[in-house]
């Protein structure tokens, strides 16, 4: 008996379902707006609870580690048993964490709230990534990039909204973001209904996977080596990004004496540059190959990163914008490349790589916070400036020669 898979049962083979991808990108924007508000409030939380940088790192580490552990587990489970309703539930769990952040009076409460938000993110990303691939019509890089750009825009809006809404009025005003959460839940319920109707009549037998039946092209040893190289590149990218997402505001305040709100606006500018750069990697990778995109996006950042710790304020802002645009194109290319290395495991690979990215960002936040306590924030950025040089190991990735996406029948 032939096993039918969700990916092979798209409404029209080769047709990209743009309204689904657009809706999913907007949902990702709303989801990551909620998620990114908290890191933007670290200066406020640090002063309110009299925390040191190590404790800030623990809060960030808890959020990232929770997502890191749970995402591959969720992805592996939903490869076999899709859960369209989990998309909306993920937002509900994130909202619970946000409410706890608004009202807790203890450091332990902050850590628990961070774990709740990490759990919500862990549930959202694997299933949403699979839905993006399902609606891609074979343009997998484009679909993943469009999905990712929504998230990166949300990450950039979070600090701006935190500066405008929460910083002048206090933590309790985090509750205003429940409007965003309810909007995201409504949208994801509609997308979940499309997903569920798409799966209707194609229920998978136990143990079957929601993915393409295409066989692996490379020997197992080469696949494992390539996955190891991709993991090392994720390490370099997200350790470096952790310096910005958790400590860029502190760097600007300490080195240049800018105000907290001005620092948050500059963080928004960096994160918006990341969002703008995200959409480049996917479609370009569809056309010229993902390996080339990975080369440029990781190693291409190195010259700018090395100059950054020695630049003035204006130079720092300009360099970070370039770094954000160039570095951002890496993740969608890495993720789709990995899914092509291990066909038939879309959710598990998405969960594994989202989870590993979360884990590296969390460990990076914790270790860099401890390093900052023992040295300085400026020293942290000097150390991190060498990380993009790890892009040299992209040379060890095998070439996956695929035809252009428009002729891909899956």
- Residue ranges per structural domain of the chain: 13-198+205-399
Provide the pLDDT for residue 200.
Answer: 56
Provide the pLDDT for residue 16.
Answer: 67
Higher-confidence position of 287 and 45: 45
CA atoms of 314 and 194, how far apart (whole Å): 47
For residues 398 and 392, the answer to whether their CB atoms sit within 8 Å is: no
- List phi, psi (to 5°) of 300: -65, -20
Domain 13-198+205-399 carries which CATH code?
1.20.1250.20
Residue-wise pLDDT tens digits, 347-367? 778 777 877 777 777 678 778
In this prediction, residues 307-316 reach a mean pLDDT of: 95
In this prediction, residues 250-254 reach a mean pLDDT of: 92
Provide the pLDDT for residue 14.
Answer: 52
Residue-wise pLDDT tens digits, 113-170? 999 998 998 899 888 888 888 888 777 778 888 888 888 788 778 777 887 888 778 7
Q: Residue 202's pLDDT band (boundaries 50, 70, 90)?
A: very low
Q: Is the dihedral of CA 79, 25, 118, 390 positive or negative?
A: positive
**Rounded to two decimals, what is the model's pTM?**
0.67
In this prediction, residues 206-216 reach a mean pLDDT of: 45
Evaluate if residue 410 carries a pLDDT over 70: no
For residues 353 and 234, the answer to whether their CB atoms sit within 8 Å is: yes
CA atoms of 171 and 23, how far apart (whole Å): 30
* The residue to which tokens 């609870």 are assigned: 49
Provide the pLDDT for residue 314.
Answer: 95
What would the two tokens of residue 317 be?
């802002």
Residue-wise pLDDT tens digits, 38-62? 877 888 888 888 888 888 878 888 8
Nearest to 70 by CA among 80, 78, 60: 78
In this prediction, residues 163-188 reach a mean pLDDT of: 86
Q: Is the dihedral of CA 226, 232, 236, 238 positive or negative?
A: positive
């Amino acid at each position: 008996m032939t096993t039918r898979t969700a990916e092979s049962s798209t409404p029209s083979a080769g047709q990209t379902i743009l309204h689904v991808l657009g809706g999913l990108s907007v949902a990702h924007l709303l989801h990551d707006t909620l998620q990114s508000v908290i890191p933007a409030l670290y200066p406020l939380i640090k002063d309110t609870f009299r925390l040191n940088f190590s404790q800030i790192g623990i809060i960030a580490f808890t959020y990232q580690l929770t997502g890191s552990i749970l995402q591959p587990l969720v992805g592996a489970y939903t490869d076999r048993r899709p859960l369209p309703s989990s998309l909306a539930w993920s937002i509900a769990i994130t909202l619970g964490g946000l409410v706890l952040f608004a009202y807790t009076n203890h450091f332990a409460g902050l850590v628990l709230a961070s774990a709740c938000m990490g759990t919500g993110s862990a549930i959202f990303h694997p299933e949403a990534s699979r839905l993006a691939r399902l609606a891609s019509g074979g343009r997998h890089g484009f679909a993943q990039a469009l999905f990712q750009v929504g998230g990166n825009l949300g990450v950039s809006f979070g600090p701006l909204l935190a500066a405008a809404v929460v910083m002048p009025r206090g933590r309790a005003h985090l509750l205003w973001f429940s409007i965003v959460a309810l909007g995201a839940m409504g949208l994801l319920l509609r997308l979940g209904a499309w997903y569920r109707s798409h799966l209707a009549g194609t229920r998978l037998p136990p143990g079957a996977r929601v993915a393409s039946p295409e066989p692996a092209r490379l020997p197992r040893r080469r696949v494992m080596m390539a996955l190891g190289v991709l993991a090392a590149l994720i390490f370099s990218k997200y350790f470096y990004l952790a310096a910005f997402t958790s400590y860029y505001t502190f760097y600007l305040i300490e080195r240049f004496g800018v105000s907290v709100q001005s620092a948050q606006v500059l963080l928004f500018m960096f994160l918006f540059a990341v969002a703008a750069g995200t959409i480049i990697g996917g479609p370009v990778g569809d056309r010229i190959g993902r390996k080339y995109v990975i080369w440029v996006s990781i190693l291409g950042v190195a010259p700018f990163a090395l100059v950054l710790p020695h630049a003035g304020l204006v130079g720092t802002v300009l360099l970070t914008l370039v770094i954000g645009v160039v570095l951002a194109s890496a993740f969608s290319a890495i993720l789709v490349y990995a899914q092509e290395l291990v066909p038939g495991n879309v959710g598990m690979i998405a969960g594994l790589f989202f989870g590993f990215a979360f884990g590296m960002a969390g460990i990076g936040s914790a270790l860099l916070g401890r390093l900052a306590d023992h040295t300085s924030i400026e020293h942290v950025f000097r150390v991190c400036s060498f990380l993009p040089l790890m892009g040299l190991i992209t040379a060890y990735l095998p070439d996956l020669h695929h035809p252009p996406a428009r002729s891909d029948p899956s």
